[in-house]
């Protein structure tokens, strides 16, 4: 009778067991965005969570250029202001010369020489006014170019100081004195703020799986599936990659967990 009961027991009552290692939420390889020599490589920080600089690339030339460009920018701004003051004075002079030229042109008793001199004085004032205006436009263009150069240098400097924000430094791939090109791998870092379980489930297991309770080491948990790949995995044929996120992994990394869906 006992044997008969076992035969009649529904097979779906027995959940398939999976084992998964707790992995970091992200594994990141940092790469050089510029070409330069490594001036600092904090090997001693490997294997720890870091808030700060781990690698510095040579930035002396950029720092010098940035100082020079900022000084030039201030000088250009001063020159623009000076020429704007000159332009205001020239405009007043031009308007006065124009008024005199128009007034004397209607006076019949004025000699031709007087009228010619008034015209030439007005023309000269007008030429100086527009020449100064053109100079201001040129200075403004130089200011735009310098602002771009300052922004470019700041961007370059930011890429030459590799900093981590509460990330685990797994391995440094360069040493002090090395020369790196753009795209060279610099360091391997991991995000340990969360954990991740990666499973490969068969299509039959995926049916209503999100409504099931996830058991970890034979205990019911509040964990939920975060993502299921829609295409079968290339390595584990006919299986679908499935991820579960652990928000508070603590010291569980690399621990092998027994996972069941019931």
Mean pLDDT of 210-233: 91
Residue 250 has pLDDT above 60, yes or no: yes
Q: Tokens 């999100």 label which residue?
A: 210
Domain count, the chain: 2
Mean pLDDT of 52-70: 96
Task: Say if residue 167 is in the same domain as residue 248.
Answer: yes
Is 4 domain-assigned? no
Token pair of 232 as six digits = 């079968």
| Three-state DSSP class for residue 240 | strand
| More confident call, 10 vs 19 | 19
* pLDDT number for residue 238: 86
Mean pLDDT, rounded, of the chain: 89
Task: Say if residue 212 is in the same domain as residue 150.
Answer: no
Residue 72 has pLDDT above 50, yes or no: yes
Mean pLDDT of 238-254: 88
Task: Say if residue 86 is in the same domain as residue 201.
Answer: no
Residue 243 has pLDDT above 70, yes or no: yes
106-110, 117-121, 226-230: which has the minimum mean pLDDT? 106-110
| Three-state DSSP class for residue 237 | coil
* pLDDT number for residue 189: 97
Residue 146 has pLDDT above 60, yes or no: yes
Among the three residues 120, 144, 159, which one is the final residue of a domain in this structure?
159
Residues of the chain above pLDDT 70, percent: 94
Mean pLDDT of 187-201: 93
Is 6 domain-assigned? no
**CA separation for the pair 241, 256 (Å, rounded):** 17
Token pair of 187 as six digits = 């360091």
Among the three residues 125, 159, 193, which one is the final residue of a domain in this structure?
159
* pLDDT number for residue 104: 85
* pLDDT number for residue 15: 62
Using pLDDT thresholds of 50, 70 and 90, give the confidence band for residue 116.
confident
Using pLDDT thresholds of 50, 70 and 90, give the confidence band for residue 13.
very low
Is 93 domain-assigned? yes
Residue 162 has pLDDT above 50, yes or no: yes
Is 2 domain-assigned? no
Mean pLDDT of 157-174: 95
Task: Say if residue 170 is in the same domain as residue 188.
Answer: yes
User: Which residue range(s) make up the domain with 186?
Assistant: 11-58+163-261
Task: Say if residue 232 is in the same domain as residue 247.
Answer: yes
Among the three residues 104, 130, 159, which one is the final residue of a domain in this structure?
159
Is 66 domain-assigned? yes
Task: Say if residue 82 is in the same domain as residue 109.
Answer: yes
Is 47 domain-assigned? yes
Residue 210 has pLDDT above 90, yes or no: no
Task: Say if residue 43 is in the same domain as residue 170.
Answer: yes
**CA separation for the pair 2, 128 (Å, rounded):** 113
Find, among 194, 197, 192, 206, the residue nearest to 243 by Cα: 197
Contact yes or no for 114/104 (Cβ under 8 A): yes
Task: Say if residue 141 is in the same domain as residue 203.
Answer: no
Task: Say if residue 23 is in the same domain as residue 112.
Answer: no
Task: Say if residue 145 is in the same domain as residue 236.
Answer: no
28 contact partners, CB below 8 Å, separation of at least 6? 167, 188, 189, 190, 191
Task: Say if residue 52 is in the same domain as residue 96.
Answer: no
* pLDDT number for residue 8: 35
* pLDDT number for residue 233: 84
Task: State the pTM of this model.
Answer: 0.72
Mean pLDDT of 82-92: 95
* pLDDT number for residue 176: 95
Q: What is the DSSP letter of 54?
A: E
């Amino acid at each position: 009778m006992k044997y008969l009961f076992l035969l009649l027991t529904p097979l779906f009552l027995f959940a398939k067991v999976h084992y998964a290692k707790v992995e970091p939420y992200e594994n990141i390889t940092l790469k050089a965005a510029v070409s330069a020599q490594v001036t600092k490589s904090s090997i001693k920080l490997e294997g720890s969570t870091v808030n700060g600089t781990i690698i510095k690339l040579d930035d002396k030339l950029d720092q010098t250029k940035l100082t020079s460009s900022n000084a030039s920018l201030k000088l250009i701004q001063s020159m623009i202001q000076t020429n704007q003051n000159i332009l205001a004075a020239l405009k007043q002079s031009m308007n006065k010369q124009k008024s005199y030229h128009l007034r004397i042109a209607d006076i019949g008793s004025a000699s031709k020489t007087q009228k010619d001199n008034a015209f030439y004085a007005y023309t000269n004032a007008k030429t100086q006014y527009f020449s100064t205006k053109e100079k201001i436009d040129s200075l403004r263009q130089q200011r735009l170019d310098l602002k771009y150069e300052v922004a470019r240098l700041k961007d370059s400097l930011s890429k030459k100081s590799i900093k981590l924000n509460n990330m685990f430094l797994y391995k440094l791939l360069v040493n002090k004195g090395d020369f790196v090109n753009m795209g060279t791998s610099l360091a391997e870092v991991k995000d340990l703020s969360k954990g991740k379980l990666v499973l490969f489930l068969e299509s039959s297991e995926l049916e209503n799986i999100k409504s099931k309770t996830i058991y970890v080491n034979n205990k019911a948990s509040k964990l939920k599936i975060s993502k299921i790949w829609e295409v079968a995995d290339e390595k584990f044929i006919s299986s679908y990659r499935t991820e579960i996120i652990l928000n508070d992994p603590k010291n569980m990394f690399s621990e092998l967990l027994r996972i069941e869906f019931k």
